[in-house]
Structure 1
Amino acid sequence: MKILCMSHGEMAGGVVQSAKLIVGDVDYLEHINAYVDENNDVDKLIDEYLRKNKGETIIVVTDIFGGSVNNSWLKRLNSVKNLYLVSGMSLQLIIQLVLSIDSQNNADVKKIIKDALALTKQGFKFCNEIDLNSGTDEF
């Protein structure tokens, strides 16, 4: 199984680097930074990645739903077997996916993704609205 982060600019590389700093250098966590040099052909980058990883189960996490990177992957969902696409890249999501894959090797990929998304959503907080004096809010 592979987790591929792909973003506009260098976000994907930064998220993967940070995740590996926290969870260790897992070899199945990879990234592609799009639009960072003269090679701006996103479809070509995706096709090369799919060719190199033919037969693998791949979870692709893109930066934004409806962006060019996400849309290029969306076009392939019906034709590429074992391809799972998630938008809304964050460090917390990537860490949760890695930890879930490491602990649930034989689990259903859809369940791993849904569980990781649910846990990640719990991590979004508007910190100004946390009552720091009550002692009841968890951090």
Structure 2
Amino acid sequence: MRRFILASHAYMSKGIKTSLELILGKQDNLSVYCAYAEGEPFFKPLVIQEVEDHPEDEFVIMTDLLGGSVNNELLELTTKENVHLVTGTNLILAMSILLTCRECDDVAAAIRTCVEDAKTGIVYCNDSEIDSDLDEL
């Protein structure tokens, strides 16, 4: 089974999950960790425990900020063969990863593609060429 984890500073990950479930429906294989929310700094042991409780499963962990404490705390998990760590998560990236990686054979390649695709969804909409592109949608 493939499992997905969203981990962020405060409630960003919870908000992304709520939005994902509004668009995609209930996501039973998606866990959320809200680091430092309500004074709770101890998210790392909870994530590690989830990974250790399911050694036969593959995990895609998505964090909010490259160089941020949440991502840095989870970097050590990348030594495990069943864990993939992605940072810079936003709604489009999380949705793409959930839809693409749920059943794919090569998760690492799929994640790389999802990251590249998500970059195209980050746009400064005041640019004039964007207006004409949006008209075509």
Same fold (TM over 0.5): yes
Conserved? CA contact 1:42–1:72, under 8 Å: no
Q: Which residue of 2 aligns with 1:15?
A: 16
Return the match for 1:112 from 110, 114, 122. 110
Q: Which runs of 5+ in 1 are unaligned?
A: none
- Coordinate RMSD, CA, aligned: 1.9
Contact 1:60/1:83 (<8 A) preserved = yes
Runs of 4+ in 1 over 6 A off after TM superposition: none
Partner of 2:96: 96
Structure 1 residue 16: Cα displacement:
0.9
**Within the alignment, does 1:68 sit opposite 2:66 as a pair?**
no
The 1-side partners of 2:51 and 2:68 are apart by: 20
TM-score normalised to the size of structure 2?
Answer: 0.87
Cα distance in 1, alignment partners of residues 95 and 101 from structure 2: 10
Q: Distance in 1 between matches of 2:29 and 2:127?
A: 38
Q: Which has the higher helix share?
A: 2
| Partner in structure 1 of residue 46 of structure 2 | 45
Query: Deviation of residue 132 (structure 1)?
Result: 6.3
Give the TM-score, by structure 1 length.
0.86
Structure 1 residues 114-135: Cα deviation after superposition (integer angstroms, max 9, x where no partner): 11111101111100113466x4
Match of 1:2 in 2: 3
After superposing the two structures, state which structure 1 stretch, 48-57 or 29-38, moved more.
48-57
**Deviation readout 1:43-75 (Å, 9 max, x if unpaired):** 322222223333210000100011111011112
Deviation for aligned residue 1:4: 0.5
Greater shift, 42-51 or 106-115, is seen at: 42-51
The 3-state SS of whatever aligns with 1:65 is coil
Closer, same or farther in 2 for the Cα pair 1:101/1:75, shift >3 Å? Answer: closer
The runs of 5 or more residues in structure 2 that have no matched partner are none
- Closer/same/farther in 2, CA of residues 106 and 92 from structure 1, 3 Å limit: closer
The verdict on how the C-alpha distance between 1:74 and 1:127 changes in structure 2, with shifts beyond 3 A counting, is same
Kept in 2: contact 1:59–1:85 (CA 8 A): yes
